[in-house]
Structure 1
Amino acid sequence: MLTSVAAGRRLAQRAIVWQAVAIAVTALAFLAKGAVWALAALVGGAAIAIGGWLSSVVALGGGVNPSGGALARLLAGVALKWVVVLAALWLGVGAMGLPPVPMLAGVVVALFAQLIAMASGHAQNR
């Protein structure tokens, strides 16, 4: 049986796969600048992918509830995602001393890959 929760989980999994591929390609591109730059791109992109996974677990993990509970889970998932991303950026730049430009590039590439994965998944489910 096809449910919106199951479809949401599949879409989230597809987005994470697309993000992993995009992050790997971005890290390989920054490898030309140096290993530290590639690592920074990897950390930035991984923060988005991990945050997105955690967000999907929280948002889609509660089963069927009234709309108020579903909305609360969705908002909690989005908040958790951005807390993870901001913490990773802060730790990467502040504590690890990674360059911020490739970290932000990793974030942007991962978000763009998520956008493409969600759009293509939505078009396939019509």
Structure 2
Amino acid sequence: MSNSVAAGRRLAQRAIAWQAVATVLVALAFLVKGLPWSLAALVGGGAVTLAAWVAAMVALGGGVSPAGTAFARLLVGMALKWLLVLVTVVVALAVFRLPGVPLLAGVIAATLALVLANSIRR
């Protein structure tokens, strides 16, 4: 086996760290527009980062298992991830009335950071 569960956990931790850094950078950039804009970027990126952590815990939490079980955990983790992001975005927009542009910028930045972290080889 060339890919262990421990290697998957390390990759997930690295990607989550990249997402957190990207979220903070976007929030700092929106601080120029005001605190609500910066907070919206933090909420958007933070939702994706937290959801990625939840997905990683679900997908990698069971250790080594048969392919069907591992695939099911992966699908459940992804479904939970995007459900958490969707609920957070809806609540942030509808209940807390945060600005939508920085909220979505935070979501996009954290998602792109995940792609970037997984494409760079060490």
Return the TM-score normalized by structure 1: 0.93
Q: CA RMSD in A?
A: 1.1
Q: In 1, distance between residues paired with 2:8 and 2:32?
A: 37
* Alignment length (residue pairs): 121
Structure 1 residue 63: deviation in Å? 1.1
Structure 1 residue 41: deviation in Å? 0.4
CA distances 1:11-34 after superposition (whole Å, capped 9, x unpaired): 110011111111111000000011
> What secondary structure is seen at the aligned counterpart in 2 of 1:48?
helix
Q: In 2, distance between residues paired with 1:13 and 1:64?
A: 18
Unaligned runs of 5+ in 2: none
- Residue 30 of structure 1 aligns with which residue? 30
Structure 1 residue 3: deviation in Å? 4.9
Structure 1 residue 4: deviation in Å? 1.9
Structure 1 residue 64: deviation in Å? 1.2
Unaligned runs of 5+ in 1: none
> What secondary structure is seen at the aligned counterpart in 2 of 1:107?
helix
Alignment of 1:79 onto 2:79: yes
Identical-residue share of aligned pairs (%): 55
Q: In 1, distance between residues paired with 2:22 and 2:63?
A: 31
Residues 25-104 of structure 1 mapped to structure 2, 5 A cutoff: 25-104=25-104
Return the TM-score normalized by structure 2: 0.96
